[in-house]
Structure 1
Amino acid sequence: MTTADRPPLAEGIPDRLYGRRRSHPLRPRQQRLLDETLPRLRLAPAAAGEPRAAFAIPVEALWLEVGFGGGEHALAHVGANPGIGYIAAEVFENGLCSLLSRLVVEGEEASGPLPPNLRLWPQDARHLLGLLPAASLDRLFLLFPDPWPKARHAKRRFVNPGLLPLVARAIRPGGEWRIASDDPTYQAWTAEVLAAQDLFEAPPPARTRPEGWPPTRYEAKALREGRQPLYWSLRRRDG
């Protein structure tokens, strides 16, 4: 997607939410995954206007995960919900390679079978939200996002007063937005932002992972290091 193709974001929201796209040089196998496997799953911007038609099978609902990290949460849902069209968004190439390496064995990057109900968006998920039809998402996941802990970087947080209308536009009334964070700054910020909005029903967060939420490596790391994750389950209000 070129800069000219990107839908506009709210005033004051940075055009980029992330810094580096790669944490270390890619190995040959990782580069093949990006060159040969990723194009077979990529959701093209032109297809975002009719996202359900982008899957290899008919799907009964549409879910989006923003920043899937290593991909374990996305793949757990893809396997457990074969009738759900799942879009997994991640800008970091190492995370993309982690997910892709779980899907195909070495040597079959260009030919191995792939889940028909999975599509990948290797770009900023906020721009995808602007391309999707209104009320097209049944569920949105934001799990352990970068907290951007410094106050001057608060505008880069995905949970953001300026971004909430864009998120709410994409989720159907009654649709669910799941948020999890182990960072105290982000937890307090999320509580503050949700208390000041009327687009989502926002009950208090749970302190243990709710049933039906697959575990992630980030949650496991937080618990090992003594941090307490919080889990929000929001519902899109009517209107």
Structure 2
Amino acid sequence: MTADRAPLAEGIPDRLYGRRRGHPLRPRQQRLLDLTLPRLRLTMAEAAAPRAAFGRPVEGLWLEVGFGGGEHAHALFGANPAIGYIASEVFENGLCSLLTRLVAEGEEATGALPPNLRIWPQDARHLIGALPEAALDRLMLMFPDPWPKARHAKRRFVNAGLLPAIARAIRPGGEWRIASDDPTYQAWVAEVMADQPFFDGPPPAGTRPEGWPPTRYEAKALREGRQPLYWSFTRR
């Protein structure tokens, strides 16, 4: 295990696909990555005892995988100050979108930061493997990249090969939330979760449940006529 990598499940490619950067970063964005991100970054060593990594004691631990623009994460850790919130994202422009909400321009190195937030800017699958057993009270996967081609199925976070590791990291009775507007991914979630021994859950909801903050991806899907589905699975 290296500084930010833990072994993955057999058959799961240990390679991160997708973009790390979109348009060139502006000076403000680069300062956020250079000065603000290190102040919030969760290390692999801290992942072994994650509740101790926050600026104050926390009553629970939530992980969001792929937070995109950060609006969903920002709403949840702001509304739940007693919860330790780990926000994971590898796309640099997405990281900047969240970080710019946290500190004023010119205060990237000094501005006060939420004590209940830590950021994992690496492959979330390695974090899942490094967390202690039953560490998470909630896991969230909101509108992930669908990887729609069949040959790309192993790249999806919802994956039969990864389920044992995910289940190990979530406490019994803990929740795994998944949302997707992509028909291929929706069918994939139904298939993977239909015959597995780790999670129970009702059929997906066709409208966003109460307590689930909106995201820009959901808004875009609705504008373009796609129907999001929302799953809530409980760890057995």
Q: TM-score range by the shorter chain?
A: over 0.9
Give the match for residue 159 of structure 2.
160
Contact 2:4 2:43 in 1 (8 A): no
CA distance in 1: counterparts of 2:196 and 2:16, whole angstroms: 22
Give the match for residue 34 of structure 2.
35
CA distance in 2: counterparts of 1:90 and 1:44, whole angstroms: 14
Residue 224 of structure 1: CA displacement?
A: 0.4
Amino acid at match of 1:140: L
Residue 11 of structure 1: CA displacement?
A: 1.5
Residue 45 of structure 1: CA displacement?
A: 0.8
Residue 5 of structure 1: CA displacement?
A: 5.8
Deviates more, 1:91-100 or 1:18-27: 18-27
| Cα offsets for 1:149-185 (capped at 9, x unmatched) | 0000001000000000010000000000000000000
Give the match for residue 189 of structure 2.
190
Q: Percent identity?
A: 83
Give the match for residue 122 of structure 1.
121
| Cα offsets for 1:72-102 (capped at 9, x unmatched) | 0001011100000000000010000000001
CA distance in 2: counterparts of 1:5 and 1:223, whole angstroms: 37
CA distance in 2: counterparts of 1:189 and 1:125, whole angstroms: 20
Give the match for residue 204 of structure 2.
205
1:100 correspondence with 2:99: yes
SS at match of 1:106: coil
CA distance in 2: counterparts of 1:146 and 1:35, whole angstroms: 27
Q: Which ranges in structure 2 are unaligned for 5 or more consecutive residues? A: none
CA distance in 1: counterparts of 2:182 and 2:21, whole angstroms: 23
Contact 2:4 2:126 in 1 (8 A): no
CA distance in 2: counterparts of 1:19 and 1:180, whole angstroms: 19
Structure 1 residues 143-182: aligned runs within 5 Å? 143-182=142-181
Residue 234 of structure 1: CA displacement?
A: 0.2
Q: What's the TM-score once normalised by structure 2's chain length?
A: 0.98
SS at match of 1:218: helix
CA distance in 2: counterparts of 1:18 and 1:90, whole angstroms: 13
Q: What's the TM-score once normalised by structure 1's chain length?
A: 0.97
Give the match for residue 90 of structure 2.
91
Q: Which ranges in structure 1 are unaligned for 5 or more consecutive residues? A: none
Give the match for residue 64 of structure 1.
63
SS at match of 2:119: strand
* Runs of 4+ residues deviating >3 angstroms: none
Residue 186 of structure 1: CA displacement?
A: 0.2
SS at match of 2:57: coil
SS at match of 1:64: strand
Contact 1:194 1:202 in 2 (8 A): no
CA distance in 1: counterparts of 2:17 and 2:110, whole angstroms: 32
Contact 1:161 1:193 in 2 (8 A): yes
CA distance in 2: counterparts of 1:76 and 1:209, whole angstroms: 15
1:74 correspondence with 2:73: yes
SS at match of 2:138: strand
Change (3 A) 1:121 1:5: closer
Name the Cα RMSD after superposition: 1.1
